[in-house]
Amino acid sequence: MTHTSVSPNGVDALLLDYNGVLGLQPSTGMWTRLADLAEWPDRHLPSFQEAFWAPRNAYDAGELSDLAYWAKVLGHHPGARWLRTLRAADTAMWTRTDPRVLDILYRARAAGLPLVLLSNAPAHLSDVLDATDWRRDLMSDALYSARLGRCKPDSAAYEHALAATGVADPGRVLFVDDREDNCRAAAELGLRALHYAGQPTDLEHQLLPALANSTRT
């Protein structure tokens, strides 16, 4: 279920997470392919995913290079060609978007509200996302953890993103994320937090009434 604290007074900007909101979660087949490319023992997906996620926060925060990250996942340094293959497959897992969500956001942008992306993402994925049509069309700015050196729910990440919206009052910025801890951290800073749980109709019902009541023209 999606929850929001939007008031009838509306909002002046939208601050959006990427993965789990705009971006679709990887399929089991994608995870299996990456594990195969990593030559994971016995193709044991749960242990591979555990190894994948353990150093991910540091990778997203820009503290680890591609090589250092994959060395931690694999337990040894991959060669240059193998590293490129792993990075390409990893990146491809996070670049599929939900067309239903994009349709809602295009309508939001047409209503005159600025949209700012705030994503936990490593450097290479950040560059790929910045090159997409939807990023150029929809987002007035995009902030990524690898460039900020901080991941959500670090308060500094939200402060940078709030500044990028150009809105002084955090209570007039709607933050949308699929993780409760990120929404909670945003709410603690005074932003309006909408917890998105994967249902575009919930997002539409909660978001568009707020846009209709916006003070922007």
What mean pLDDT comes out for the span 58-82?
98
6 pLDDT higher than 70: no
Task: Give the confidence band of 7 by pLDDT, cuts at 50, 70, 90.
Answer: very low
Provide the angle, in degrees to the nearest 10, between the axes of the packed helices 80-93 and 28-37. Answer: 170
Two structure tokens written together for 147:
């460039």
215 pLDDT higher than 60: no
What mean pLDDT comes out for the span 67-84?
98
On whether the CB atoms of residues 32 and 45 are closer than 8 A, the answer is: yes
Collapsed DSSP state (helix, strand, coil) of residue 95 = coil
- Ranking 68-82, 98-112, 124-138 by mean pLDDT, the lowest is 98-112
Query: What is the reported pLDDT for 212?
Result: 61
On whether the CB atoms of residues 15 and 165 are closer than 8 A, the answer is: yes
Q: Alpha helix locations (H) across 38-79? A: 45-53, 56-60, 66-74
pLDDT tens-place string over residues 106-148: 988 888 889 999 999 999 999 999 999 999 999 999 999 999 9
